[in-house]
Structure 1
Amino acid sequence: MRLKTAILDSLAEEIVKYKVYPSDNEVEEVAEALVSSHPCLKEPGSATGYGGWKVSLKYKLANYRRKLKRLGCPEVELNSLTNKPVDKCTPAYGVKKPRRAQVNYCPTYPSGESAETLEKIRENLLLDVRKRNNEDTLAAMMEKTFAHRRQEVIRDAPLIADYKTRWPALFCVRELTAEFKRITTVSLLSKFFSKLDAHSSKLMRVSGKKGGVQG
């Protein structure tokens, strides 16, 4: 029993480095990989040999998330029952998870900062965005308030118009590309141009069929 607990603890700790809320299929893949790598752990009498491991791992992850919530993990806090509608207050309802490539889905606040201090910086941004030749100052403030924006997007899902009113500094090329990189760790322009190059021949053919001068 101690060995099984140690294995489950290690697996859960490793999984949450990548996803706090893995899907059912992903948990099954981990359980399958476990018994595949260590045949001695295969469950006798089980159709798959890892069904019990899968169930135990799901319970272990649920317990691990409770620990993360006590430690103030924002992604777990946003998915807690206290943040769900009263008539749909179940753990499985509306779980907010990162989409593909969202590496920094729900980051924690910078050390020494809180929702209140970051909101104050946001209010100052509304004034600083009107100043000329202020790009570097804006960039530093936008970097610092990144976690505040992400939690706002995930928790409230605001309309674009409302979001633009609250964060006008975000809606320029420099800050949009910076925000994309903060979330995905990928350069937006490099990604865009690489995809454009990959499809350039098809785009040229489509353009040629429509007539006119290419270029």
Structure 2
Amino acid sequence: MAETIYNFKPYPHEKELAMAAKALITAHPCLRMTAGEDGELGWKRHIGYKFASYRNNLAKAGVAEVAINTGRRSRNNPDNDHPHENIKKARKAEINYIINLPKDQTPATLETMREEIIHEVEKTERNQLVIGKLMNISYALRRQEIVGAVVAPQVKDVMVRWPALLMESQVFAEFHRINNVNLRSQFYKELDRHMPKLITLFRDKATKTGKIAEELAKLMRIYDPQEQRDVNMRRALVLRALPVYLREDASKFFRTCNSSRVTLLMHPSSALRASVLSWRMKCL
């Protein structure tokens, strides 16, 4: 049961352990505790102890996902962090939160690869295939540096050590490495799902008075006369009108022109901005 629970979550909550205990005694009524005892509560404690022991064995074996939380307060180390405080664990949807180093690789060899990545990024004509391959291999080192640090590193420090993360292709690739999700497709899907309601919201706001309403009305006047309202045009409208509706300054977010191509300048650290960087949309 400990191994099965670990496959779902390395740090389950008490309610989740209680659900496992209830499922156990429901499937095997003969395992109920003696009369007068709460069988579900008793098995919850037993499973909790067994799971903690199983997790400790994995940490001793070097499994990075749980080994990162070792060395906490104990009888021999009374000054360390409390065992149940600031536990480093994966957030929702983070499939590859932190992983062990690849076979036949050491921190020294991966550090050499990191230097090769920096050298390749500095070139005028970058070899995208080489950068992608080296970034894939060095992912474990990168995650151990970011997640395993006692103090979370600043974004600028991470960008200095891993400048390839400023590249659009590597933003998408890194997101896929962590969550196993195609960021571009997922963003398109969610944007298209909310698009009709957002356009209705902007149109209603544009009929009112005020500076925001005037800006939205101006965008609508550009959008409405278009003979062919393709999906790219609707996406451009929503992305351009959203910061206006939220009263945010988008002067450094978008660049518009009069040609048939539009370049959108996005901050690389934002998944939303990076996901629309390569869109080829009609000019607003």
What is residue 3 of structure 1 aligned with on the other side?
A: none
- Residue 152 in 1 paired to residue 145 in 2? yes
- Residue 172 in 1 paired to residue 163 in 2? no
* Matches of 1:173 and 1:62, distance apart in 2: 41
- Residue 51 in 1 paired to residue 41 in 2? yes
2:106 maps to a residue whose letter is S
1:112 maps to a residue whose letter is D
Moved more, 119-128 or 136-145: 119-128
Q: In the superposition, relative to structure 1, how do residues 172 and 206 fare at CA in structure 2: closer, same or farther (>3 Å)?
A: farther
Structure with bigger RCO (C-alpha 8 Å, 6+ apart): 1
Contact 2:72 2:80 in 1 (8 A): no
* Matches of 2:54 and 2:19, distance apart in 1: 19
* Matches of 1:82 and 1:27, distance apart in 2: 23
1:136 maps to a residue whose letter is L
Contact 1:103 1:184 in 2 (8 A): yes
Q: In the superposition, relative to structure 1, how do residues 181 and 187 fare at CA in structure 2: closer, same or farther (>3 Å)?
A: same
Detail structure 1 runs of 4+ shifted over 3 Å in the superposition: 82-88
Alignment match of 1:192 (pick from 178, 187, 190):
187
Contact 1:126 1:168 in 2 (8 A): yes
Matched ranges for 1:15-34 at <5 A: 15-34=5-24
Tell me the secondary structure at the aligned position of residue 50 of structure 1.
Answer: helix
Structure 2: gaps of 5 or more residues: 207-216, 224-236, 238-284
Structure number with higher helix proportion: 1
2:128 maps to a residue whose letter is E
How far the C-alpha of 1:83 sits from its partner, in A, is: 9.9
Alignment match of 1:113 (pick from 97, 105, 114):
105
Alignment match of 1:143 (pick from 114, 136, 145):
136
Q: Whose radius of gyration is greater, 1 or 2?
A: 2
Identity of aligned residues (%): 37
What is residue 176 of structure 2 aligned with on the other side?
A: 181
Alignment match of 2:95 (pick from 100, 103, 113):
103
Contact 2:165 2:171 in 1 (8 A): yes
- Give a deviation string over 1:101-158, Cα, whole Å, max 9, x none: 0011111111111222212211221111112131110000000011111111211221
Contact 1:32 1:50 in 2 (8 A): yes
Tell me the secondary structure at the aligned position of residue 112 of structure 1.
Answer: coil
Q: In the superposition, relative to structure 1, how do residues 86 and 175 fare at CA in structure 2: closer, same or farther (>3 Å)?
A: farther
Alignment match of 1:205 (pick from 188, 200, 203):
200
Give me the TM-score of the superposition, normalised by structure 2.
Answer: 0.67
The CA RMSD measured in Å over matched residues stands at 2.1
Contact 2:110 2:141 in 1 (8 A): yes
How far the C-alpha of 1:82 sits from its partner, in A, is: 5.8
What is residue 77 of structure 1 aligned with on the other side?
A: 67
Contact 2:17 2:48 in 1 (8 A): yes
Task: Give the number of equivalent residue pairs.
Answer: 204
* Matches of 2:94 and 2:201, distance apart in 1: 32
Contact 2:72 2:82 in 1 (8 A): no
Tell me the secondary structure at the aligned position of residue 8 of structure 2.
Answer: coil
How far the C-alpha of 1:30 sits from its partner, in A, is: 1.2
Q: In the superposition, relative to structure 1, how do residues 69 and 142 fare at CA in structure 2: closer, same or farther (>3 Å)?
A: same
Alignment match of 1:64 (pick from 54, 59, 77):
54
How far the C-alpha of 1:166 sits from its partner, in A, is: 0.8
How far the C-alpha of 1:206 sits from its partner, in A, is: 2.6
